[in-house]
Structure 1
């Protein structure tokens, strides 16, 4: 699976993140209010965001989100943790990829941009894997509502990760090939 495709929708273009995107992306990320409910609520700070940006480049699955109308970078998302599936018939592990680390300028919140981004990423990913997973901070009400809105199903899986000097629980949502085909983001 190509984790850095170029994907175009009606309003956004997703393309591989580049080092040269730093200034534009930090201009978006430096909005303190954008991170208020996020587990990494300090990501608006330049040194913290610089580490996030460096990791995004190193993971080779990061995408810049470009607004087609303005040509400006308005956010970012990632494909990460690709598992091609393994095991025999009885213990087969489904192939999967994680979609996440998505953030958008607050000017684009509530206007369907996140849904368009996720639809493009899911349509691409589910051609290669059985399911896409999303790890969401258990207390991140905005992201949890967004997951339900795009057809995510809470799996009962969770992880605990260190964020801002404390353990933070993340719950796992999934969208499978079948649920995507029948869900709110299905592309005809």
Structure 2
């Protein structure tokens, strides 16, 4: 791998800043609302001890970011690159969450576009695991041009196995979100 899966990325409105240990409390403040996790595979991530495991996985991935709004400096959520596969020339984007104040504002498509614009310089395919019951994320990804290609049993970092849909976006089909 001759590229970073944890670069500093930004557009006009947002920054993706590599996650650091000191970011835990800021992210937990957002994550402690049970509503954030209603449709996610592990609905208990609002509990401190469960979120600590989630955050540990983020740190160990060495591909995680905090999402920051440039105008206010507010941390809005987190996302990451993970599971780079050199032989398939692919990577995953996921583990994304936002505080409820960021919902419905068109932030996620801009963040995903920022990530894909960068990573498609290095890979041909981006995959996403989305929980079978996470309808909000399924719709959002389909709007970005994601195609559902499989159903898999996935165990997130230190969490129980759960059914996920696997989506893909190929470099040649990368949808431009304005």
Instruction: Give the TM-score, by structure 2 length.
Output: 0.93
Q: Distance in 1 between matches of 2:154 and 2:127?
A: 16
- 2:15 maps to 1:13: yes
In 2: Cα distance, 1:67 partner to 1:37 partner: 24
Q: How many residues align?
A: 175
SS in 2 for 1:144: helix
Match of 1:176 among 170, 173, 177: 170
Is 1:159 the equivalent of 2:161?
A: no
- Is the 8 Å Cα contact of residues 11 and 113 (structure 1) preserved in structure 2? no
Counterpart position of 2:52: 50
2:6 equivalent in structure 1 = 4
| Structure 2 match to 1:145 | 139
Q: Secondary structure at the match of 1:151?
A: coil
- CA distance, structure 2, for counterparts of residue 168 and residue 22 of structure 1: 25
SS at 1:171's partner residue? Answer: strand
Asked whether the 8 Å contact 2:113–2:176 carries over to 1, the reply is no
Shift of 1:11: 1.6
Larger Rg: 1
Unaligned runs of 5+ in 1: 86-93
Residue aligning to 2:115:
121
Shift in CA distance, 98/166, structure 1 to aligned 2, threshold 3 Å:
closer
Instruction: Return the offset for 1:54.
Output: 1.0
Q: What residue is the counterpart of 1:77 in the other structure?
A: 79
Secondary structure in 2 matching 1:20: helix
Residue 81 of structure 1, CA deviation: 0.3
| Residue 149 of structure 1: how far off its partner (Å) | 1.2
Gaps of 5+ in 2: none
Can you list the C-alpha shifts for 1:107-134, whole angstroms capped at 9, x where unaligned?
1111110001100100111100011000
Alignment equivalent of 2:33, drawn from 31, 34, 42: 31
Please report the RMSD computed on the Cα atoms of aligned residues, expressed in angstroms.
1.6
Task: Name the SS for the 2:153 alignment partner.
Answer: strand
C-alpha deviation, 1:53, in angstroms: 0.5
CA distance in structure 2 between the partners assigned to 1:75 and 1:116 by the alignment: 13
